[in-house]
Structure 1
Amino acid sequence: MLLSSFRSLGLVLAAALVTASATLAQEKPLRVAEIWEIPTLDPTQDGTLMKEKAMVTETMVAGNPDFTLAPGLATSWTRESDTVWVFKLRPGVTFHDGSPLTAEAVVVSLKAALERSGTVRSYIKIAELAARDSVTVVITTSEPFPALPAALVYASAAIVSPASPKMPDGTIERPIGTGPFKVAAWQPAAQSFTVERFEGYWGEKPSIPAVTFRGIPDPTTRALEMQKGSVDFTSEVPYGDLDTLAAKGFTVSRNVTARNYVLNFGSLKDTPFADVRVRKALSRAIDREEIAQYVLFGMGRAGISAFPDTMAFADKSITVPKSDLAAAKKLLAEAGYVAGSGGAMTKDGKPLAFTLFTYPQRPGLVPIAGAIQSQLRKLGVAVEIKVTTFSAIAKEMKPGDARLAALASAMYPHPDFYLRQTYHSKGATNTWGYANPKVDEALATAATTRDEGERSAAYNLVQRIAAEEEPCLTIAHYGVNVVMKPGVTNYAFNPIAHDYMLDPRMKLAP
């Protein structure tokens, strides 16, 4: 009898240990290899990391996968005049420190973002902020700006508590947001931080208890870390590794996102690139279909316009021209270039040649640069490739150089974002100096009219002019890969993501 009791007790203890082990296994954090370095957690400086990936912060307005708008921390918004908007806050929302989300807190947060981020100021065009009452925020824009609700989707305009710990210079050290996860640990030297589930979240509670992020900028290293088992989720591994990873049991997905591979010139003034015929000659010599199919392994689509035709606001009348070397040579001849020694195209004794800068974090960039170098060699244009960091390019690049980058075409879901900053004469990223009065006029019309048909026509006109004059060369529309270890489930790629967007519904098996 006594022996039987001990056996029963042993079975109970064994079952308890199994249950405890399973519970501990379930409580494992999701380990993410982030594609960029992690120098800061300040949402005004890296809002994408804090909002889309770490899920710490949220914005007033959210974006759907089809690039339409959805309620975020604001449940509704109305336009009282050309420049005055009223936003009603979602009730029952609290920050991670337990304090309530109020209109006053939103005003303080947005003012700080405007002060600390020139990009936020440029994108959102806020002139005044006021709290009409505890749940009503009034925003006055500096000019008529119908894209305001969409602009508030921009991740660096996410709302944080005024109580968020700050450094002496005002940098937010640990953001206190309203999202489903809150910051638990931050190791700047290790480029690593951890977020844990926020039990007081107003929406659906996360399934995973915590997520640990580690900055690993090198794509090959990210692939190796996945195979070593040190991370559970990553993005942007070398395209040539995808089939190998899939064969080893990893979940691999290839997705189209709102980003373009773009070749932009150092300057369109006092350089060969000032001549539209030279730009178009380079464009016609580039075989976009070959790049999309063979260089990108099908990870992307050939493109020439600002948006792929899968996006609602794309002008679908624009088609991608086929590569035509003869037409490219004819354009250069019209621009005064002749074939010199070894077939090099020259004008006034100077060869048409340039340095093409790019960076390695996005795995398609360096291979595309190599393909462009090879294709332009057939035209008689020498291209030297220099791979460095994104920030270093701005310091090293000269007016006669060029850069190949992966540029987001919808940091907020509205055509105004990319078209204005890229093609307006005073656009935020138009550092090459493109100016066309018809483009500026069309963008002004789009910003002031209340007629949706007229606005759409204006944006389409800008797209057609840009595709014809090519102040910068769109090479392809971006494809992004995601790799997960077996057992990571409930993940669906969101095309509105700037890299990848995690989901609180994701699960991690024991």
Structure 2
Amino acid sequence: MIAAGVVTAVAIGVAGCAESDRDGGGKGGATGGTFIFAGAGDPKNFDPIFNDDGESFRPIRQMYDTLVTHRPGSADLVGGLAESWSNDPTGKVWTFKLRQGVTFHDGTALDAAAVCANFDRWYNMKGEAAQSQMIYYADVFGGFAGNPDAIYDNCKAPDAATAVVTMKKYKGAFPGAFALAAFSIASPAAMKQYDADKVTQSGDSFAYSAFATDHPTGTGPFTYGGWNKATGEITLNRNPGYWGDKAKVDKMIIKVIKDENTRKQELRAGAVHAIDFPAPADRKALAAEGYQVLERPAFNILYLGINQKNNPKLKDLRVRQAIAYALNRAQLVQTKGPGGSAVADEFLPGTVLGYAPDVQKYEYDVAKAKQLLAEAGATGLTLNFYYPTEVSRPYMPNPQEIFTVLANDLQAAGIKVNGVPRPWNGGFKDDVQQFGKQDLHILGWTGDYNDPGNFVGTFFGRPKPEFGDQSMTEMFTAIGAADATVDQQAKRAAFEQVNRDLAAKWLPAVPIWHAPPALVTTKNVEGLVPSPLTAETFNTVSITK
């Protein structure tokens, strides 16, 4: 729409909202009861801006709203806290018309000043807060105040119902990025009261404020009811003052069960109503037993990350290519992938603009891998391979099994592998994404919105400890130029070339597969709408008797 010179792009909010029974949980009234969802890992905290993983965002999405959101069950944008939005022809000025009568959970009003307070807070983050896990902000907005790459300029409130956000330059992430859970709008009063920006670091760990841990305050359909770490239960209560379709259950509990088999047992025992990311082998069995298996479309990527910082041999493209040739990805997909999985040849799904079908492909070839290692003088290479424990991800249903298969492939090609298992939060993610301790790691991504910058830009658009690729300035420049291209056909061509070069010239990681993740629920769960973005909200869920 920007490329065509259209000044206004309007999306009215979810159609059913105006017709719903605002006091009775939507059409049909509130059903009451408690919906129990089995989470696969601990959330880090409940302050949206400091998070970037699904286990943290699951409760966050229930407690907060974003300016723009997605139509349930799709990646299509619709209004959230903003009833409509528009952009100027340059794509740099975004105007949001806010819903009226919306209040935060602390009773304070949502208005344009509150929206601007959130944008200004993110931009002006300093010290240890800025150094913590603010990956989404750095990726989308380029950095904080004083950083020459920062694209945020200002936010103005010409009236209570209008927020105008101005960027220093066009970025293809918008408007999709306004729907990111990390950019949920929080209560300025609560953030001030509970010192939201106070973050302290001790060694490799960060400690967050009372706002993030005990007093998360948004506008969402559920309010925070506490996290009992002894039982692993996060309690969310129905928000009777919600502006949209009110939750149909009185309470939601996210019960953290880190072991996959235990989650399955708890489902069968009736102790939980839903589990996420079932093992591929379990889908058919659970469906045959009468459970509902709700599949999401595959909008994700699993990759083997290669960190070039610690081992100088990994800076040699031939060594990285040898790693790619050593992996029998087709067999991995067949034996460990969820039904419908496919080998990935690049880092974004085929439905995303910029996908290039003619990228260099790395078919399984052990002899080629050994040859390249010998040419590079890397025979006998030893690598530390980090993988997460106690968690399942949409793109990675069983990290231990995936690690084992990939490690065996590498060792068959003559690469010695030291496996380093680490817990997901407070271990693996910090070691890999903050400190770059690993040589290899498995990680992935579920797309947040349909734009190539959300995939390759997020991974490779700037220097990151995860890949140790600070010297790949050509890659950063090319991705930045593609993302800044306003004309959509030119943008398509630019990202197609980026994807060719990622495969043939840079190879900072090896794409593994695209996998459709699933949810499984008991028979008495109704109204759960699976999201291709794994971004479900549960106000639509009811429990039948």
Assess same fold via TM > 0.5: yes
- Aligned residue among 21, 42, 47 for 1:42: 47
- Aligned residue among 450, 454, 471 for 2:490: 454
Q: Counterpart in 2 of 1:20?
A: none
Matched, 1:107 2:116: yes
Instruction: Write the distance in 2 (CA, Å) between the matches of 1:28 and 1:82.
Output: 46
> Letter of the aligned partner of 1:356 in structure 2?
F
Higher alpha-carbon Rg: 1
Q: Secondary structure at the match of 2:49?
A: coil
Q: Secondary structure at the match of 2:492?
A: helix
* Structure 1 residue 82 displacement after superposition: 5.6
Range that drifts further, 411-420 or 226-235: 411-420
Classify 1:268/1:98 alpha carbon distance in 2 versus 1 (closer, same or farther; 3 Å): closer
Instruction: Write the distance in 2 (CA, Å) between the matches of 1:191 and 1:233.
Output: 16
Instruction: Write the distance in 1 (CA, Å) between the matches of 2:231 and 2:194.
Output: 19
> Letter of the aligned partner of 1:102 in structure 2?
D
Q: Secondary structure at the match of 1:144?
A: coil
- Aligned residue among 437, 440, 443 for 2:479: 443
* Structure 1 residue 496 displacement after superposition: 1.4
* Structure 1 residue 443 displacement after superposition: 2.4
Instruction: Write the distance in 2 (CA, Å) between the matches of 1:381 and 1:438.
Output: 29
Classify 1:428/1:329 alpha carbon distance in 2 versus 1 (closer, same or farther; 3 Å): closer
Instruction: Write the distance in 2 (CA, Å) between the matches of 1:403 and 1:153.
Output: 31
Q: Secondary structure at the match of 1:479?
A: coil
Instruction: Write the distance in 2 (CA, Å) between the matches of 1:83 and 1:383.
Output: 47
Range that drifts further, 295-304 or 109-118: 109-118
Instruction: Write the distance in 1 (CA, Å) between the matches of 2:465 and 2:294.
Output: 31
Q: Is contact 1:265–1:399 with CA below 8 Å preserved after alignment?
A: no
Q: Counterpart in 2 of 1:12?
A: none
Q: Secondary structure at the match of 1:221?
A: helix
Matched, 1:216 2:253: no
Q: Counterpart in 1 of 2:274?
A: 233
Classify 1:374/1:39 alpha carbon distance in 2 versus 1 (closer, same or farther; 3 Å): closer
* Structure 1 residue 380 displacement after superposition: 1.8
Matched, 1:153 2:158: no
Q: Counterpart in 1 of 2:544?
A: 509
Structure 1 residue runs of 5 or longer lacking an equivalent are: 1-22, 338-345
* Structure 1 residue 188 displacement after superposition: 4.7
Matched, 1:381 2:424: no
* Structure 1 residue 332 displacement after superposition: 2.5
Q: How many residues align?
A: 473
**Structural mapping, 1:169-248, within 5 Å:** 169=198, 170-172=209-211, 173-248=214-289
> Letter of the aligned partner of 2:537 in structure 1?
L
Q: Secondary structure at the match of 1:377?
A: helix
Q: Counterpart in 2 of 1:164?
A: 190
Q: Secondary structure at the match of 1:359?
A: strand
- Aligned residue among 61, 86, 96 for 1:87: 96
> Letter of the aligned partner of 1:331 in structure 2?
L
Q: Is contact 2:46–2:216 with CA below 8 Å preserved after alignment?
A: yes
Instruction: Write the distance in 2 (CA, Å) between the matches of 1:442 and 1:171.
Output: 41
Matched, 1:55 2:38: no
Instruction: Write the distance in 2 (CA, Å) between the matches of 1:151 and 1:302.
Output: 27
Instruction: Write the distance in 1 (CA, Å) between the matches of 2:68 and 2:357.
Output: 27
* Structure 1 residue 107 displacement after superposition: 1.3
Q: Is contact 1:434–1:471 with CA below 8 Å preserved after alignment?
A: no
Structure 2 residue runs of 5 or longer lacking an equivalent are: 1-27, 142-151, 199-208
Q: Counterpart in 2 of 1:67?
A: 75
Q: Counterpart in 2 of 1:7?
A: none
Instruction: Write the distance in 2 (CA, Å) between the matches of 1:379 and 1:62.
Output: 46
C-alpha RMSD of the superposition = 3.0
Classify 1:435/1:107 alpha carbon distance in 2 versus 1 (closer, same or farther; 3 Å): same
Q: Counterpart in 2 of 1:340?
A: none
Q: Is contact 1:254–1:299 with CA below 8 Å preserved after alignment?
A: no
Alignment deviations for residues 66-96 of structure 1 (CA, whole Å, 9 cap, x no partner): 5343222221121364643322223343333
Q: Counterpart in 2 of 1:392?
A: 427
**Structural mapping, 1:410-449, within 5 Å:** 410-424=447-461, 426-428=462-464, 430-433=466-469, 435-449=471-485
Q: Counterpart in 1 of 2:371?
A: 330
Query: Percent of pairs identical after alignment?
Result: 24
* Structure 1 residue 488 displacement after superposition: 0.9
Matched, 1:483 2:488: no
Instruction: Write the distance in 2 (CA, Å) between the matches of 1:293 and 1:483.
Output: 22
Q: Counterpart in 2 of 1:3?
A: none
Q: Secondary structure at the match of 1:279?
A: helix
Instruction: Write the distance in 1 (CA, Å) between the matches of 2:357 and 2:441.
Output: 25
Alignment deviations for residues 419-454 of structure 1 (CA, whole Å, 9 cap, x no partner): 223223x34465421544543333232343321211
Range that drifts further, 167-176 or 99-108: 167-176
> Letter of the aligned partner of 1:111 in structure 2?
D
Alignment deviations for residues 279-312 of structure 1 (CA, whole Å, 9 cap, x no partner): 1111112111111111225363211211121445
Q: Is contact 1:421–1:430 with CA below 8 Å preserved after alignment?
A: no
Q: Counterpart in 1 of 2:154?
A: 128
* Structure 1 residue 151 displacement after superposition: 1.8
Q: Secondary structure at the match of 2:455?
A: helix
Instruction: Write the distance in 2 (CA, Å) between the matches of 1:364 and 1:154.
Output: 26
Range that drifts further, 462-471 or 415-424: 415-424
Classify 1:185/1:353 alpha carbon distance in 2 versus 1 (closer, same or farther; 3 Å): closer
Alignment deviations for residues 439-489 of structure 1 (CA, whole Å, 9 cap, x no partner): 333323234332121122212221111122321111112332312111112
Alignment deviations for residues 218-262 of structure 1 (CA, whole Å, 9 cap, x no partner): 222212221222111111244344344334332224444433222
Q: Secondary structure at the match of 2:97?
A: strand
Instruction: Write the distance in 2 (CA, Å) between the matches of 1:353 and 1:428.
Output: 23
Q: Is contact 1:51–1:158 with CA below 8 Å preserved after alignment?
A: no
Q: Counterpart in 2 of 1:31?
A: 36
Instruction: Write the distance in 2 (CA, Å) between the matches of 1:319 and 1:217.
Output: 38
> Letter of the aligned partner of 1:140 in structure 2?
T
Matched, 1:494 2:521: no
* Structure 1 residue 509 displacement after superposition: 1.1
Instruction: Write the distance in 1 (CA, Å) between the matches of 2:319 and 2:56.
Output: 42
Matched, 1:119 2:154: no
Q: Secondary structure at the match of 2:517?
A: strand
Matched, 1:371 2:401: no
Q: TM-score, normalised by structure 2?
A: 0.78
Instruction: Write the distance in 1 (CA, Å) between the matches of 2:298 and 2:470.
Output: 26
Instruction: Write the distance in 2 (CA, Å) between the matches of 1:252 and 1:502.
Output: 17
> Letter of the aligned partner of 1:352 in structure 2?
L
Classify 1:427/1:73 alpha carbon distance in 2 versus 1 (closer, same or farther; 3 Å): farther
Instruction: Write the distance in 2 (CA, Å) between the matches of 1:80 and 1:242.
Output: 48
Classify 1:496/1:199 alpha carbon distance in 2 versus 1 (closer, same or farther; 3 Å): same
Instruction: Write the distance in 2 (CA, Å) between the matches of 1:255 and 1:141.
Output: 34
Instruction: Write the distance in 2 (CA, Å) between the matches of 1:489 and 1:82.
Output: 41
Q: Secondary structure at the match of 2:247?
A: coil
Instruction: Write the distance in 1 (CA, Å) between the matches of 2:49 and 2:229.
Output: 17
* Structure 1 residue 201 displacement after superposition: 2.5
Q: Is contact 2:338–2:517 with CA below 8 Å preserved after alignment?
A: no
* Structure 1 residue 369 displacement after superposition: 1.0
